[in-house]
């Protein structure tokens, strides 16, 4: 049985606190009805919205499960289950991870007080209780609980927004298997590795059939990362889809996109973009590339880094030239965003064994080559 | 991202340092606005960025430089990037910005 000797805090500040803790919940577990009455009085004065009492450990655990308190005021020396055991059991349950457990104890020895923290107490107050100190500590833990709750709600909201944004990006990205079937009909094999650096990113890729003879492949790397990158990428997506009449002329397409994106008033929409036009019958692909690293042409006798022209679209300064490159059966063409750093020598050394034979392996190139701090997309195309 | 903007004669000189990433987007916007105010005040002969202490920058910052470049072009003023590291210089070359700005 514990005793208490203290003055209740003055009521001057109680009104101000009343609304602050109106939605807070406190559970008092103590076998002494006088202490419970005293603690209830303190909690009432603080304007705590829900105050629940339990006279022993077993009932205390049941009440904790029922009300999910923000703070538990827990006595140590109780008949039956001790406060230590109650504390251990509460901490063992993940749903009480964020619950503050404030132990009141008459135990004076250091080791005993340390034991309180070892079993998971958030704080310890000595008996006889100093009500002013108890009030101050209770206030601190309740405020922490409010901050934690507010942070958790914010995170939950952000996660929902992020999921929605991911859905938007997913809806504009093509399905790889379907794209491989489409490209196969144009006498090419295709493989793509697409990895945002964070949960969401600013890289997009496309497989856009123009007619039965020609198909356009596009890689977009919008500036910035994360949600900002994704928003930029979606704006580029809109402009791109509105420009379908230029899908058979990659150079003009990029100039059109540059003009459109450079009119965005904030002047913050930029993207590197590479567009490659396949032709089912001709062993020549036409391409234009702005701001992306040079496309890599892998032939049996070596690797070439193809010329590109133009700054990122959105600059309003590009005058993109369309170039043609011969692709014989077995030749591969790789386009990638700037998430793959390194010198041309390094890239050639990496690609040679990977592209030697067999199926295309964009994921392997990605795993071995890309840096972790940027969105990364690698598209590999091979003429059948 | 620490940066300082000063006038050197009629040049607007911006010193930047550290790693420039999209995390500093607020500072970047602020910097663009400050340079813009200098340009609006007139009598500017060049906008210079001293990148000697910049270890790396991401595509967001390329966009920021392009924004400043567009403002410079409206005023027919050159934009000069000075002392970039090898990696940063390579980034400018990849996006072919080395063809439209001076890199010293």
What tens digit of pLDDT does each residue of A322-370 get? 999 999 998 999 998 876 666 777 777 777 666 666 777 787 777 776 6
Residues in B closer than 8 angstroms to A312, CB to CB, are 59, 62-63, 66, 95
Q: What are phi and psi of A141, to 5 degrees?
A: -70, -35
Confidence at residue A372, expressed as pLDDT on a 0 to 100 scale: 58
Cis bond leading into A128, ω under 30°? yes
Confidence at residue A10, expressed as pLDDT on a 0 to 100 scale: 40
Q: Which residues pair with A103 in a beta bridge?
A: A74, A124
CB contact under 8 A, A223 and B62: yes
Q: Which residues pair with B38 in a beta bridge?
A: none
pLDDT above 70 for A17: no
Q: Which of A46, A35, A52, A36 is nearest to A9 (CA)?
A: A46
Confidence at residue A357, expressed as pLDDT on a 0 to 100 scale: 66
* Angstrom distance (rounded) from CA A22 to CA A41: 15
A87 in Cβ contact with A78 (< 8 Å): no
Residues in A closer than 8 angstroms to B22, CB to CB, are 224-226, 228-229
Coil vs helix vs strand at A104? strand
Per-residue model confidence as pLDDT tens digits over A66-81: 999 999 999 999 999 9
CB contact under 8 A, A293 and B73: no
CA-nearest residue to A272 within chain B is B95
Is A258 at the interface with chain B, CB within 8 A?
Answer: no
Confidence at residue B1, expressed as pLDDT on a 0 to 100 scale: 60
CB contact under 8 A, B22 and A312: no
Q: Which of A153, A90, A154, A167 is nearest to A122 (CA)?
A: A90
Coil vs helix vs strand at A195? strand
Q: What residue has token string 């939605």?
A: A23
* Angstrom distance (rounded) from CA B10 to CA A284: 52
Confidence at residue A309, expressed as pLDDT on a 0 to 100 scale: 75
Per-residue model confidence as pLDDT tens digits over A209-263: 999 999 999 999 988 778 888 888 999 999 999 999 999 999 999 999 999 998 8
Average pLDDT, chain A: 87
Residues 6+ apart with CB under 8 A from B8: B48
* Angstrom distance (rounded) from CA A371 to CA A197: 9
Per-residue model confidence as pLDDT tens digits over B22-54: 778 888 889 999 999 999 988 899 999 999 999
| Gyration radius from chain A CA atoms | 33
Nearest to B70 among A221, A267, A374 (CB): A267
* Angstrom distance (rounded) from CA A87 to CA A81: 10
pLDDT above 70 for B66: yes
pLDDT above 80 for A382: yes
Nearest to A310 among B59, B91, B96 (CB): B96
In percent, the amount of chain A with pLDDT more than 70 equals 90
* Angstrom distance (rounded) from CA A186 to CA A206: 15
Most confident region among A202-216, A281-295, A300-314 by mean pLDDT:
A202-216
A103 in Cβ contact with A141 (< 8 Å): no
SS (H, E, C) A115-137: HHHHCCCCEEEECCCCHHHHHHH
Coil vs helix vs strand at A113? helix
pLDDT above 60 for A44: yes
Nearest to A311 among B58, B66, B67 (CB): B66
Q: How far is CA B75 from the centre of its chain?
A: 16
Give the mean model confidence (pLDDT) for residues B73-102: 89
B45 in Cβ contact with B9 (< 8 Å): yes
Q: Can you list the pairs that A243-246 forms with residues at least 24 positions away whose Cβ atoms lie under 8 Å?
A: A244/A208
pLDDT above 70 for A9: no
Residues 6+ apart with CB under 8 A from A164: none
Give the mean model confidence (pLDDT) for residues A290-310: 86
**Most B-contacting residue of A262, A311, A373, A376 (CB-CB within 10 A), to test interface:** A311
Per-residue model confidence as pLDDT tens digits over A98-114: 899 999 888 777 888 88
pLDDT above 90 for A186: yes
Q: What are phi and psi of A343, to 5 degrees?
A: -80, 165
Strands (E), A181-244: 188-195, 203-209, 214-222
What DSSP element (H or E) covers B97? none
Give the mean model confidence (pLDDT) for residues A161-178: 92
């Amino acid at each position: 049985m514990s005793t208490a000797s203290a003055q209740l805090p003055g009521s001057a500040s109680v009104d101000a606190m009343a609304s602050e803790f109106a939605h807070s919940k406190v559970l008092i577990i103590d076998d002494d009805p006088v202490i419970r009455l005293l603690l209830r009085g303190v909690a009432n004065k603080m304007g705590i919205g829900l105050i629940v009492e339990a006279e022993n450990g077993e009932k205390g655990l049941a009440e904790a499960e029922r009300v999910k308190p923000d703070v538990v005021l827990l006595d140590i020396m109780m008949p039956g289950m001790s406060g230590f055991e109650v504390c251990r059991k509460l901490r063992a349950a993940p749903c009480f991870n964020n619950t503050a457990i404030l132990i009141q104890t008459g135990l004076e020895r250091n080791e005993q007080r340390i034991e309180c923290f070892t079993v998971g107490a958030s704080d310890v107050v000595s008996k006889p209780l100093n009500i002013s100190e108890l009030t101050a500590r209770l206030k601190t833990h309740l405020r922490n609980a409010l901050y934690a709750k507010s942070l958790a709600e914010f995170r939950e909201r952000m996660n929902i927004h992020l999921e929605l944004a991911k859905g938007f990006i997913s809806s504009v990205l093509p399905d790889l298997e379907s794209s491989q079937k489409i490209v196969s009909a144009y006498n090419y094999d295709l493989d793509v590795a697409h990895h945002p650096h964070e949960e969401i990113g600013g890289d997009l890729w496309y497989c856009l059939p123009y007619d039965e003879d020609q198909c356009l492949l596009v890689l977009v790397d919008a500036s910035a990362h994360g949600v900002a990158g994704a928003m930029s990428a979606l704006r580029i997506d809109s402009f791109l889809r509105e420009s379908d009449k230029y899908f058979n002329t990659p150079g003009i397409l990029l100039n059109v996109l540059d003009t459109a994106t450079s009119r965005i008033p904030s002047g913050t929409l930029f993207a590197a973009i590479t567009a490659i036009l396949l032709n089912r019958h001709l062993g020549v692909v036409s391409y234009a590339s702005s701001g992306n690293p040079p496309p890599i042409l892998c032939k049996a006798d070596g690797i070439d880094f193809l010329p590109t022209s133009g700054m990122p679209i959105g600059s309003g300064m590009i005058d993109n030239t369309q170039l043609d490159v011969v692709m014989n059966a077995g030749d591969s063409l790789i386009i990638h965003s700037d998430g793959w750093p390194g010198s041309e020598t390094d890239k050639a050394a990496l690609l040679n064994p990977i592209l030697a034979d067999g199926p295309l392996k964009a994921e392997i190139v990605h795993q071995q080559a890309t840096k972790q701090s940027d969105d990364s997309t690698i598209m590999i195309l091979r003429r059948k | 991202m620490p940066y300082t903007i000063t006038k050197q004669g009629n040049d607007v000189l911006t010193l930047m340092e550290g790693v420039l990433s999209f995390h500093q987007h607020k500072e970047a916007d602020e910097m663009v606005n400050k340079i813009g105010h200098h340009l609006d005040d007139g009598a500017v002969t060049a906008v210079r960025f001293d990148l000697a202490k910049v270890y790396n920058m991401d595509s967001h910052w390329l966009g920021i430089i392009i924004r400043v470049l567009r403002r410079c072009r409206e005023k027919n003023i050159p934009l000069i990037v000075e002392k970039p590291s090898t990696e940063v210089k390579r980034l400018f070359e990849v996006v072919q910005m080395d063809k439209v700005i001076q890199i010293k």
